[in-house]
Amino acid sequence: MPVKVLIVDDSGFFRHRIEEMLRDDARLEVVGTAVNGKEAVEQVKRLKPDVVTMDVEMPQMNGIEAVRIIMREAPTNVLMLSSLTHEGARVTLQALEAGAADYLPKDIRAWMDKTSGVRSQLIDRLVALGRTRRFQRSSALDRSYPGRGDKTGTTMVFRPDDPTPVRRPRATERAAVPNASTTDVRRPLPPVTRPPAAADTPTTPASRVQFPNCKLVVIGASTGGPAALQKVLMALPANYPYPILLIQHMPKTFTQVFAERLNQQCQISVKEAEDGDRLQPGRALLAPGGLQMMIDPRQKDRVRILAGDERLTYKPSVDVSYASAAKTYGSQVLGVILTGMGADGCDGARLLKQAGATIWAQNRDSCTIYGMPQAVVNAGLADAILELDDVGPLLAQRGSR
**What are the residue numbers of the active site?**
222, 249, 344
Find all residues with CB under 8 Å of 23, minimum gap 6, and list them.
Answer: 30
Omega before 316 within 30 of 0, i.e. cis: yes
Compute the half-sphere exposure of residue 117: CA atoms within 13 Å on the CB side of its CA. 4
Do 362 and 386 touch, CB atoms closer than 8 A? yes
Give φ, ψ of 77 to 5 degrees.
-65, 130
Write the CA distances from 173 to 139, 372, 393, integer angstroms.
Answer: 33, 11, 32
Rounded Cα distance, 316 and 345, in Å: 11
Q: Could you give the CA distance from residue 141 to residue 316 in angstroms, rounded to a whole number?
A: 30
Buried b (16+ CB within 10 A) or exposed e, 315-335: bbbbbbbbbbbbbbbeebbbb
Residue 333 φ then ψ, to 5°: -115, 140
Distance CA 367, CA 137 (A): 14
Could you give the CA distance from residue 176 to residue 188 in angstroms, rounded to a whole number? 5
Residues 6+ apart with CB under 8 A from 295: 279, 302, 303, 304, 324, 325, 327, 328, 329
Exposure on the CB side of residue 24, measured as CA atoms within 13 A? 5
